[in-house]
């Protein structure tokens, strides 16, 4: 995963929340009910991110999926040690088919 794509997506999501929140805090009624402004800003930010941040989200999720596939494809140390021990002792591995 590229760290840049995750950082870009996170910053854009924060901006999608903070900009509407800042605009709403300019209104006198929203200064009194700041929690309501935060709820509205969260809903607006969610809507904006669903509409406009599809490409950065795809980049992040593709990077995470690639990283996870590489981790699963690599052989762990325990598996390599078990295979070496089985080969040295001359016994078949438990996964080997029997006749």
On whether the CB atoms of residues 49 and 56 are closer than 8 A, the answer is no
Q: Which of 36-40, 65-69, 74-78, 85-89 has the lowest mean pLDDT?
A: 74-78
Asked if pLDDT for residue 56 goes beyond 80, the answer is yes
Put residue 90 in one of left, alpha, beta given phi > 0 → left and psi -120 to 50 → alpha: left
On whether the CB atoms of residues 9 and 53 are closer than 8 A, the answer is yes
Cβ-based neighbours of 82, under 8 Å, separated by 6 or more: 93
Q: Tell me the per-residue pLDDT of 29-47, one tens digit each, with 9 for 90 and over.
A: 999 999 999 999 999 999 9
Q: What is the mean pLDDT of the chain?
A: 85
pTM: 0.64
């Amino acid at each position: 995963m590229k760290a840049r794509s995750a950082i870009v997506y996170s910053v854009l999501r924060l901006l999608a929340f903070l900009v509407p929140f800042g605009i709403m805090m300019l209104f006198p009624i929203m200064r009194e009910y700041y929690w309501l402004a935060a709820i509205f800003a969260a809903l607006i930010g969610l809507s904006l991110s669903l509409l406009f941040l599809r490409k950065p989200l795809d980049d992040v999720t593709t990077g995470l999926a690639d990283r996870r596939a590489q981790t699963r494809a690599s052989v762990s140390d325990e598996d390599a040690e078990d295979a070496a021990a089985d080969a040295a002792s001359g016994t078949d591995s438990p996964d080997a088919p029997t006749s």
